[in-house]
Structure 1
Amino acid sequence: MPTKFALVTGCGQGGIGEALVKEYSRRGVHAIATVLPGEASGHLLDAGITFFRLDVTIEKSVLDLKASVEKLTNGRLDILVNCAGIAYTMTAIDTDVVAVQRMFDINVFGPMRMVHHFHGMIIRSTGTIVNIGSIGGIIPYLYGASYNATKAALQHWSNTLRVEMAPFSVKVITTISGEVSTNILKNDAHRKLPEEEFHRHVTRTPQGATNRFKYAENVVAQSLKSSPPAWFWYGSFTGMIRFLDTFGWRTVWDSMLWRMFNLGKLKQAHTLRMSKDAALGN
């Protein structure tokens, strides 16, 4: 059998991408990783994994990667996994729009750039595209309005991409990821709001999160199937969320998230403040 090639973006140490390339390599696939310019790469060197530098927000960087991969693979690519992504943790009304524009450029426009430039190689191999989505694109998870929006956009774009690529026998998998233990929140720990609940959330170690290597094992297995599912739900809480999203009413999450994030405390504080303002004639 000829060697299969799998390209995974966003393979910095401690993330899902690193776990994915290591799993592809374990299964005998020639894994190709990308890391940011200047980002540490020792974890990939130690594992003997081919890697290139890539910034998915820069067109030239994507084109340079394409040239390198074409040379390595003789112009074909069996699997493309769009994994590069960042988080932005903040309430919707306190959003820094410039920061969110950058997140959209990575989380949404990054996969678009990759598919735009690599689709010919994937069609040549009748390959597979995997887009890493999230339960955040399904439920109104608090403090994640902007991140959730990027994942909802990616998931719907991926859905349409699947239909458009079917005539070329290219498979597209949208992975709806549950809570997976990674270091994605490391760059958000400095963000602050007065509520202590926010601080606990942004610095938390997720309880019950799926091990990222176990997650990678399952995602890779799906991507190697001849007939993979259109949406692959995997990770902590995805079973419950899939059920409620299918059979529940649109506001089924509201009361659950109200309790989870102690919104009663915020409501009480707001009511008290309004009463004081009224007493002062403000």
Structure 2
Amino acid sequence: MTAMSSPRKIVLITGCSAGGLGAALVEAFLMQNYHVFATLRNPNKIPPHFTTLSNVTIITLDVLSSSSIASAVEVVTKETGSRLDVLVNNSGVMSIMPGLDASIKEGKKLFDVNFWAVLAMIQAFAPLLVEARGCVVNNASVAGVMPVYFESVYNASKAALIVGSETWRLELALLGVRTLTVVTGSVRSQVFKNMTPANVPENSYYAKIGKDIDDLGDGRLAEHAISAEAWATKVVVAVEKNRAGKVWFGGAASIINWGTWLLPGWLLDKLLTATVPWVKSIQR
């Protein structure tokens, strides 16, 4: 049965590599009887069993390539009769580096993936979403609402995504399309394994704690994380319940939501510093 002839709802998810949040989302949407277009840049990283499922269509998609996005739109349009019920913008990259040592060039690339590619996907699939009176899901992060040490570029990209997503929510609602901004907390996934090591420069002001900064890439700050499967289930439930706006899913997400509203700035700073107490060793 093809997606076009199936009564199932249609969802397209970006970033569906094995072990990641995208792959977990595929499984969660399948549980709700969706036909899933699972996309990723490197098809060799797709979970092998996805290739055997009739209700999963795998598309090679580079979200930074306009031609690749256009090709994906063409495939979905052809197979569904110009309909897409849900677009999940899950692709993203993480970065750890003190702001003073961050590469502006690499930072712009990170923004391209975490922000501009999301808008590019929404623009490209808008006709299909409007036709279906569908839903856009944008995967943001709690890092976008709090100044996590040594993640300034990543934090800023997710902050931009949160504000952008909430603005698009208002604009798309005029066309009958819902938007969910998922502010994601700690979730167990491959994100840290796929991240480029920080490698703080030897001449950095932060060289003395460079090894500690590099070690943040091992995921130690995600000790209270929930499973990718639990997170994905929450996202799909929110979609099925016709929710819109910001939702907070993942380890400590709800606490951070309330904490950023209720706690004074000096106390938030203290709590953030407590997660990396070794920074005090270079305090001047």
TM-score (norm 2): 0.89
The sequence identity of aligned pairs, in percent, is 27
Alignment of 1:240-279 (within 5 A): 240-262=255-277, 263-267=279-283, 271=284
Q: 2:107 — aligned with what?
A: 100
- 2:9 counterpart of 1:4: yes
Q: Distance in 1 between matches of 2:151 and 2:31?
A: 34
Is 1:230 aligned to 2:235, yes or no? Answer: no
In structure 1, runs of 5+ residues without a counterpart are 272-282
Instruction: Tell me, yes or no, if the aligned pair for 1:189 and 1:203 is still in contact at 8 Å.
Output: no
Q: Deviations over 1:74-126 (max 9, x none)?
A: 10000000001111111111101111111111110111110111011001111
Alignment of 1:45-64 (within 5 A): 45-46=51-52, 49-64=56-71
Alignment of 1:77-226 (within 5 A): 77-188=84-195, 190-193=197-200, 194=207, 195=209, 196-205=211-220, 206-226=222-242
Distance 1:190 1:117 in 2: 33
Q: Are 2:23 and 1:22 aligned?
A: no
CA shift, 1:10, in A, is: 0.7
1:187 and 1:62, CA in 2 relative to 1: closer, same or farther beyond 3 A?
same
Aligned length: 267
Distance in 1 of aligned mates of 2:165 and 2:196: 30
> Matched residues in 2 for 1:251 and 1:108: separation?
29
Q: Deviations over 1:110-161 (max 9, x none)?
A: 1111011101100111110000010000010112111111110011011111
Instruction: Kindly provide the amino acid, as one letter, of the partner of residue 111 in structure 2.
Output: F
Change (3 A) 1:55 1:177: same
Give 1:38 shift.
Answer: 5.2
* Equivalent of residue 36 in structure 2, options 25, 31, 35: 31
SS of residue in 1 equivalent to 2:140 = strand
Q: Secondary structure at the match of 2:174?
A: helix
For 2:167 and 2:66, the matched residues in 1 are separated by: 23
Distance in 2 of aligned mates of 1:148 and 1:46: 38
Query: Which residue number corresponds to residue 276 of structure 1?
Result: none
Structure 2 regions of 5+ residues with no counterpart? 1-5, 201-206
Distance in 1 (alpha carbons) for counterparts of 2:89 and 2:214: 30
Q: Residues 70 and 124 of structure 2 are in contact (CA less than 8 Å); yes or no, is this contact kept in structure 1?
A: yes
Output the TM-score relative to the length of structure 1. Answer: 0.90
Check whether the contact 1:140–1:253 (CA below 8 A) recurs between aligned residues: no
Q: State the shift of 1:187 in Å.
A: 3.5
Distance in 1 separating the partners of 2:260 and 2:158? 16
Q: CA offsets, 1:234-276, max 9 Å, x none?
A: 1111121111112223444211122221222121xxx4xxxxx
Residues 8 and 80, structure 1, Cα contact 8 Å, conserved in 2: yes
CA separation in 2, counterparts of 1:141 and 1:57? 26
**Matched-pair contact (CA < 8 Å) for 2:94–2:191:** yes
User: Counterpart of 1:211 in structure 2: which amino acid?
Assistant: S
